[in-house]
Structure 1
Amino acid sequence: MYSIRIFALFLIIYGASSNEDEGIVEVDGDYDPGEQEDGNRNEKLLWSHQSPLVNMVLQTSSIHYQQGDYSTSDFFDFLRDKYPLPGGLTTPLPEYDFVIVGSGSAGSALASRLTKNKNTTVLLLEVGKPEMLLTDIPALAPYFQATDYTWQYYMEKQPGVCLGMDNGRCFWPRGNALGGSTVINYMIYTRGRPEDWNRIAADGNYGWSFDDILKYYIKLEKAELGGFEKTAHRGRDGEMPVQFVPVSTKLIDSFLEAGRILGHPTIDYNSPDELGFGKVQVTIDNGRRQSAAKVFLHSHKNRRNLHILPQAKATKVLIDPDTKTAYGVEFVRNKLLHTVRVRKEVILSAGPIASPQLLMLSGVGPKDHLTAKGIPVIQDLPVGQTLYDHICFPGLIFTLNVTDISFLENRGLSLTTITQWLMNGDNELSSPGAVEGIGYIKTTLSDDPESVPDIELISIGGSIVSDGGPGGSRSVRRGMRINENVFNGAFGSIDNTDTWSTFPMLLHPKSVGYLELKDDNPYSHPRLYGNYLTDPKDAATFVAAIRHVQELVQTEPFQRWGTRLHPARYPACESLTMDSDEYWECAVRTLTATLHHQVATCRMGPTGDPKAVVDPELRVHGINRLRVVDTSVIPRTISAHTSAPGFLVGYKAADLIRNTWGIK
């Protein structure tokens, strides 16, 4: 049994790549994927680079395997999860109560909640493919940044940031799968501070205070956290597993102990009561990724009122320009254009990039911008005009004078490792990219009067050099799109050695970005402007965070391993004194990496808010029967990775929609 599963698991790596059109198809000659150098083509990238793990097992398991041999069609599609239309249907119905576009954290949760009522019909459209067994392996999270499970979005080139990235541009991967970004992310579960949500409510967004939304977090969680789940603010009876990683290194103990020495208690960091450090909480069960699709769709896919349609590209929301009422969606599947109508609502859950893009393509957006792109304007709204993102610095790396203490990709790989993971899920393959801990701090630059951190520290049981060495996949550095020459010059001397690192993540940037359409083609990627570090306080906060990490490392828990800062050199920083504030700002501007937490592109706000796209019930201002239900509605920066808030938005939206339509 297990030998068959092992064979299938790794043979699929090369069987999964496909020359099919992946839902991006030519319709009446209008398909224009854009220029490759602009990041506007979602290429067939699945397993475009290999790892020693992959090669070793394939060579052991398959007599047909030849290294570098890639399949030209999806021979192993039968190994993907399947979502056939129920009742023997071969095509969707012409009309549903609700059509949901996008199956990420919010869309999947919403579809599941709405269809609990058997009389409510839902069509869920998703442009990506279903997940497969490989996506279950947490340790492979870095690989998926360079596969066709990921939209290959790039930020427009901006002076002074991403200097060490390929072509000097920041990479913004988003999930292109049934389950959205929960199929490719690092599975980190963070809720945000109570003050974050209370400030959102204070802006006029009724129903969004922490007390209002806490019940949804409790409802969705199935927490097993070593006793933390027994507190009043945690949930144990929900659908989404929230657990500690089942395997870790001794470095997490050093991180937590050092934190306590500097006044950061070891706590449930999702507790609303205090700031501190803690072991990372992840959406994993039995060592396996629990995506939105796996949790909210797979077990309900036989519901006769839930129709799930993968590889279906929504191209336009149909809106009556006279009544300003949404009545359907146009989508492309198998190179055919389809129209589906709604009896109640169209709901966009396509994420913080695709949802605003689809709104603008449908005539809802900034009047001048849409007019310039030749799109008839139905409703003038500031779609895409506000964009916040969380960026981090992955180059703060410390060497150790002991061996066999950190995660290294090339260490301990064997057929036994794979078998043990398949059987028990409790070895290094269950580690989400070596992430082990989370710490919230307020730097010396924070002027926030409340208990709101300005930096999150992500403790890694290794670093970005842990994926290297002879035959190494280099998946982490490639996933971030770090330029190879820059990487080798900065870190080549310590590649594939035992290290510890922490990624400081800027939680509340002052810099504000935006996005806009490239043109009126739904297959073109939008233009993304992060405006990273344009406010000088953002760069200064990073430097203050780095100084705090250096204090952590000087404590005995880290010094017992001989922890020393690696003096990385970057081309742009050669003239600067090592370890000076100026050097660190330059380093951050060289390795500027997103953590994929874009928000506010369909910003929530009350009537009269000039920056708002949707109201507090997520209804698009000025348009009837159209809502946005995903993290693009979050109007402010929050102290959280956005997967858990996405689940929350889906759960709350289900109640809002049921109340609107009297659905029990």
Structure 2
Amino acid sequence: MLHKLITILTILSVGNSFGNDDEAFVETVSDNDETSHIYGYESPSQESRRGKLLYSYSDNPMVNIVVETAAPNFVGQKPGDIFEFLRDSYPLPGGLHAPYDEYDYVIVGAGSAGSVLARRLSEDKNATVLLLEAGKPEMLLTDVPALAPYFQATEYTWQYYMEYQPGVCTGMLNGRCFWPRGKAVGGTSVVNYMIYTRGRPQDWDRIAAAGNYGWSYNEVLQYYMKSERASSMGGIEKLPYRNRDGEMSVEFVPRKTKLIKAFLEAGRTLGHPTTDYNSPYELGFGYVQTTTSYGRRVSAAKAFLHKQKKKRNLHILPESTATKVLIDPQTMTAYGVEYVRNKVKHTVRARREVILSAGPIASPQLLMLSGIGPRENLQSVGIPVLKDMPVGQTLYDHICFPGAIFELNTTGVSFSERTALNLRQAVAWFRNGESDMSTPGGVEGIGYIKTPVSDDPENVPDIELIDIGGSITADGGPGGSRAVRRGMRITDETFNSAFGEIDRLGKDTWSAFPMLLHPKSFGRLELKDSNPFSHPRMYGNYLTHPKDVATFVASIRHMQALAATPAFQRFGAKLTRADYPSCRATVFDSDEYWECAVRTLTATLHHQIATCRMGPVGDPLAIVDPELRVHGVQRLRVVDSSIIPRTISAHTHAPAVMIGEKAADMIKWTWK
């Protein structure tokens, strides 16, 4: 096993030409074989961006240490896709060389929802299922939780950027917010931070009360439980609202710092009980729960697809990009999908249903490319309008602020890349998963708080505190990879000015990222053109409502109160005086300073929702009904986090899996 690790990391150290199809131009032509081919090209600016994607590998200290220690005589070479032999594979079963021309169900997207949906629908042996995925299968290195930030700049993500918005992300490259989304068999669950949260009961009860029958908390709870295989959580797994028999492993992180106990103790001091934060009965602070098993990532693909490869009625096609849903304009019935695989365009028909599970960006984009969307936008890019609907016109996202950092006067207590990523830690992770490499980006705890700014009449939090056993400076110091800050696209000027001293000295730190759970501000997305390989235009409209800013400031004040408790003062916690270049006209630690700081380091948590929002007939903003059928179109559903109609107190991976579970039952019921 160690030899395999050395081989992998040695190869990884020389980099890889990871692609970015950001601006690929697609042209369809016919040749003598009457086969349509897809030709693409990249602009020079794209080629330069492609080269920049290599930094997170060539600078990886774990790679360097392992190579220098175990393979000092290795001579690299410039490879193509050198990772192919490391990847998982999904060959067609039964010796097939090509997929069928027709299936009962065609699912677009093998992410958190699509993977479980394909698994459940293929349980009917009389039904055939095709699962199309634009990305590649995952590989061994994506299993390492600590490497999550490295994969933000690789072929395993869609390199989406929000449109420029003045006054947010001012400390990011080009002043634009980076929105990477998973592009893999397993979707975003292959590159995320693996945090398992379900949302508060009130979140789901309010969704149901808006006319979405079947979506109350008690009704969705059974589907959360169906997937879950909880273990190693100190007895929490035995509670009646948890399950130990599902496919998706959920556990506590095996390696923790002393700072998590300080976080929980400080929470209790301020009135926040230590609890299972997924409990429907109380708010509180708790150890982070992750979709891992023995310190290894468990993606949706691992949980739901890996053991299904030999099923003859389930065909999984990676590297296959859907470009259009085929809809009969007379009957408004979906009957198939066009997709591109190996630069050749194919058509597949669906006898029963077409199901979009491509995520909150790609699912609405595909609907619009197929003629379902806002009339004005579709007509402006030359797409015939089949159904005028507000697709993409509502977009909520969770954003956080990673810049409230507290220096400690104690050494060796926080996570640091210098100590976490070395040969000894790598070997320990391979043996039993118990090493610093099992930490999901240093996250150790979750705390829900309701700030004084909230006007919610019920006990619903407006902030989630993501407790870190360190801070975003943990990837720095001499020889550090700086992968976290680069993954967020923070400029060197901003980072060095704000945190240069503690970064250079490698000081121990503590921080928590406040995540705005229920923003009043919301955005939208629209097509840029009719090219299915272009990214849509995405507008976040972050912090355009003053209450969102006030909530962030209140959350930072609460973090300062936590740091002032005896639990953190035992480590000498002291707020770092961050010098943001754009905030020098404000008084440090004033409300105005913190607003400026939040606008400088505005980071998404990749939780976009509501772009294909769910609602009953008569809801002018709804795209799908409570059974996830597209309004006015037969045999077409959307099954992913884009259907969530309003903000929820949760990271979206677990809700997306739940949506896949629930949708599978609804579809099975439809077709008996």
- Residues 136-178 of structure 1: CA deviation (Å, up to 9, x unaligned): 0000011111111111100001011111000000000100111
Cα distance, 1:34–1:202 mapped onto 2, change above 3 Å: farther
In the TM superposition, residue 222 of structure 1 has moved relative to its aligned partner by 0.4
Which of 150, 156, 161 in structure 2 is aligned with 1:154? 161
Confirm whether residue 546 of structure 1 aligns to residue 556 of structure 2.
yes
- Alpha-carbon distance between aligned partners in 1 of 2:243 and 2:166, rounded to the nearest angstrom: 45
- Alpha-carbon distance between aligned partners in 2 of 1:368 and 1:488, rounded to the nearest angstrom: 45
Which of 426, 436, 441 in structure 2 is aligned with 1:428? 436
Give the SS at the match of 1:647. Answer: helix
Cα distance, 1:604–1:35 mapped onto 2, change above 3 Å: farther
Q: Which residue is 2:124 aligned to?
A: 117
Q: Which residue is 1:622 aligned to?
A: 632
- Residues 478-507 of structure 1: CA deviation (Å, up to 9, x unaligned): 000001111000000100321000000000
Report the TM-score when normalising by structure 2: 0.95
Q: Which residue is 1:602 aligned to?
A: 612
In the TM superposition, residue 72 of structure 1 has moved relative to its aligned partner by 2.7
Structure 1 residues 145-184: aligned runs within 5 Å: 145-184=152-191
Cα distance, 1:431–1:129 mapped onto 2, change above 3 Å: same
Cα distance, 1:508–1:315 mapped onto 2, change above 3 Å: same
CA contact (8 A) 1:16 1:74 kept: no
In the TM superposition, residue 35 of structure 1 has moved relative to its aligned partner by 6.8
Cα distance, 1:139–1:462 mapped onto 2, change above 3 Å: same
Confirm whether residue 83 of structure 1 aligns to residue 90 of structure 2.
yes
Structure 1 residues 167-566: aligned runs within 5 Å: 167-224=174-231, 225-411=233-419, 413-495=421-503, 496-566=506-576
Which of 46, 60, 64 in structure 2 is aligned with 1:55? 64
In the TM superposition, residue 120 of structure 1 has moved relative to its aligned partner by 1.2
Cα distance, 1:634–1:136 mapped onto 2, change above 3 Å: same
Code of the residue aligned with 1:647 in structure 2: it is V
Cα distance, 1:42–1:508 mapped onto 2, change above 3 Å: farther
- Residues 226-270 of structure 1: CA deviation (Å, up to 9, x unaligned): 101111111111111110000000000000000001000000000
Aligned-residue RMSD, C-alpha: 1.9
In the TM superposition, residue 58 of structure 1 has moved relative to its aligned partner by 2.0
Question: Percent identical across equivalent pairs?
Answer: 66
Report the TM-score when normalising by structure 1: 0.96
Q: Which residue is 2:600 aligned to?
A: 590
Code of the residue aligned with 1:620 in structure 2: it is V
- Residues 483-537 of structure 1: CA deviation (Å, up to 9, x unaligned): 1111000000100321000000000000010000110000100000000000000
In the TM superposition, residue 451 of structure 1 has moved relative to its aligned partner by 1.6
In the TM superposition, residue 656 of structure 1 has moved relative to its aligned partner by 0.6
Q: Which residue is 2:33 aligned to?
A: none
Stretch of structure 1 that moved more, 295-304 or 183-192: 295-304
Give the SS at the match of 1:466. Answer: helix
User: How many positions carry a matched residue from both structures?
Assistant: 659
Give the SS at the match of 2:472. Answer: coil
- Residues 308-345 of structure 1: CA deviation (Å, up to 9, x unaligned): 00000111111111111111111111110000000000
- Residues 192-228 of structure 1: CA deviation (Å, up to 9, x unaligned): 0000000000110000000110001111110112101
- Alpha-carbon distance between aligned partners in 2 of 1:268 and 1:205, rounded to the nearest angstrom: 28
CA contact (8 A) 2:20 2:159 kept: no
Code of the residue aligned with 1:51 in structure 2: it is N
- Residues 90-141 of structure 1: CA deviation (Å, up to 9, x unaligned): 1110000001100110000100111111111111000111000000000001
Q: Which residue is 2:647 aligned to?
A: 637
Structure 1 residues 2-151: aligned runs within 5 Å: 2-14=1-13, 17-18=16-17, 26-28=26-28, 45=53, 47-62=56-71, 65-66=74-75, 69=76, 71-151=78-158
Cα distance, 1:150–1:179 mapped onto 2, change above 3 Å: same
Give the SS at the match of 2:648. Answer: coil
CA contact (8 A) 2:260 2:467 kept: yes
Structure 2 unaligned residues grouped into runs of 5+: 30-37
Code of the residue aligned with 1:299 in structure 2: it is K
Give the SS at the match of 1:93. Answer: coil
In the TM superposition, residue 366 of structure 1 has moved relative to its aligned partner by 0.5
- Alpha-carbon distance between aligned partners in 2 of 1:19 and 1:612, rounded to the nearest angstrom: 37
CA contact (8 A) 1:490 1:568 kept: yes
CA contact (8 A) 2:324 2:369 kept: yes
In the TM superposition, residue 362 of structure 1 has moved relative to its aligned partner by 0.5
CA contact (8 A) 1:31 1:521 kept: no
CA contact (8 A) 1:35 1:41 kept: no
Cα distance, 1:12–1:96 mapped onto 2, change above 3 Å: farther
In the TM superposition, residue 9 of structure 1 has moved relative to its aligned partner by 2.9
Give the SS at the match of 2:490. Answer: coil
- Alpha-carbon distance between aligned partners in 1 of 2:247 and 2:11, rounded to the nearest angstrom: 29
In the TM superposition, residue 622 of structure 1 has moved relative to its aligned partner by 0.6
CA contact (8 A) 1:385 1:601 kept: yes
In the TM superposition, residue 28 of structure 1 has moved relative to its aligned partner by 2.5
